[in-house]
Amino acid sequence: MDVDPVADLNRLRVDIDRIDAEMHRLLMERGDIIESLIAVKARQGGGSAFRPGREADMMRRIAGRHKGILPLDTVEGIWRIIIATFTYVQANYSVHADIAGGDAAMRDSVRFHFGFTVPFIQHQGPAGVIDAVARSDGDLGMVRIDGGIAAGAWWQKLTAPTAPKIIARVPFVERPDHPAGMPVFVLSLPLAEAAARDVLIFSVTLERWRDAIPDAIGSLGCEILGNAATGTGLSLLVAAPGEASPDALRDALAAAGCPGPRIVQVGSHAARSDRRGQALIQG
């Protein structure tokens, strides 16, 4: 019996329309649940709408189960926009981003991770981003991990107890061909709950550089993400495993010839994941 290709195409298009309608229905159902969530939180006295650890877990699960011809980039981007937009519905916020290193890469990162509903406010340098988040009622900031060539020890502005803190590192799922792959820290006002602590981020102030520092820090599984001279010496931005302690870091630096370092935690984030959803250990 001959197969009618036109009839087959029509059946496939009917299936696509059915799936599209179901996806839309589920998104609206998710909106109904978010409305209920808002009401429950209001009765409990509020609380942050940001759940960086939960978001990272969702991304890992998506990467781990994904298959087929649809690119993982597309799936990840869709879910990021869903999460960011429904978070915005719970509590309006803006994203402040440092574009001093060039607009294109940072804009791609902001739009990939937060979509177009969340307002995007541009700043020239990390300091402007940090100050804007500090003045806000719940905005987020995005800063390149290296902070840019002229940024200096930008992380020192995070050391005060009430200052903004690092709450996430994006992209959550890393791969060489990621469309928004520039490593970026996400900042917020200190989270009273829900902070992910797979990786701890420390500001370390020393009198001077010593060649033994990288090995001393590396022996604890730590990683130097940035370093800059300050008016009183040297400041390092250090990523450490979640179980690491400031005392262990202090002892390792003392053994490397750097006694009395000032060590302040300036944030934490979930472990990065590869395209299969497997955790990556380093900061």
- Domains annotated for the chain, with CATH where assigned, are 7-41+49-195 (no CATH), 200-268 (3.30.70.100)
128-174, pLDDT tens digit by residue?
999 999 999 899 999 998 766 667 899 999 999 999 999 999 998 88
233-263, pLDDT tens digit by residue?
899 999 999 888 899 999 999 999 998 899 9
Looking at every residue in the chain, the average pLDDT score rounds to: 88
Backbone angles phi, psi at 135, to 5 degrees: -85, -10
Instruction: Report the pLDDT value the prediction gives residue 3, as an integer from 0 to 100.
Output: 59
Q: How far apart are CA 125 and CA 149, in angstroms?
A: 10
> What pTM was estimated for this model as a whole?
0.89
204-243, pLDDT tens digit by residue?
999 989 999 999 999 999 999 998 988 888 999 999 998 8
Question: Which of 203, 201, 134 is closest to 162 using CA atoms?
Answer: 134
Q: In the predicted model, what is the mean pLDDT of residues 99-123?
A: 92
Q: How far apart are CA 233 and CA 96, in angstroms?
A: 30
Q: Is the pLDDT higher at 16 or at 282?
A: 16
Q: How far apart are CA 90 and CA 119, in angstroms?
A: 15
Q: Is the pLDDT higher at 15 or at 281?
A: 15
Query: In this structure, are strands 199-206 and 262-269 parallel, antiparallel, or unpaired?
Result: antiparallel
